[in-house]
Amino acid sequence: MKYFLHALKNYAVFRGRARRQEYWMFTLFELIFAIAAIVLDHLLGTDPAGAGAGYIYSLFSLAMIIPGLAVMVRRLHDVNKSGWFFFIVFIPLVGVIWLLVLMCTEGTLGDNEYGSDPKAFEAVAY
């Protein structure tokens, strides 16, 4: 949960680096909250018939666009790729798989052009 909150506090920070754990924990909690929003939409009846998504889920998804992009760009920086590398997803099939592989790849050890190693910083902090 601390990684989700960290990403929300840095919702528009596109510089620096994010560890794999930060990215995937953010993704996990975003998924959990999205499912809760869908259930809440059904329980409260705020999902218009045939719309596919309710108002609560739509607001949540809209609120998570910038933090999700920011943490993804920082994750790409950790593997020494530019944030613009995100656009690889527009290559059919191959792009999504390639981006998934990058999100699962261990970050660059030591400093790179995007900042210091977040693993080294956490080891010293604790």
Q: What is the mean pLDDT of residues 52-59?
A: 88
Q: 40 CB contacts (<8 Å, ≥6 apart)?
A: 46, 54, 56
Residue 119: pLDDT over 70 = yes
The answer to whether 14 touches 67, Cβ cutoff 8 Å, is no
What predicted TM-score, i.e. pTM, was given to this entire model?
0.86
Q: 42 CB contacts (<8 Å, ≥6 apart)?
A: 54
Token pair for 25: 């924990």
Pick left, alpha or beta for residue 115 (phi over 0 → left; psi -120 to 50 → alpha; otherwise beta). left
pLDDT at 14: 93
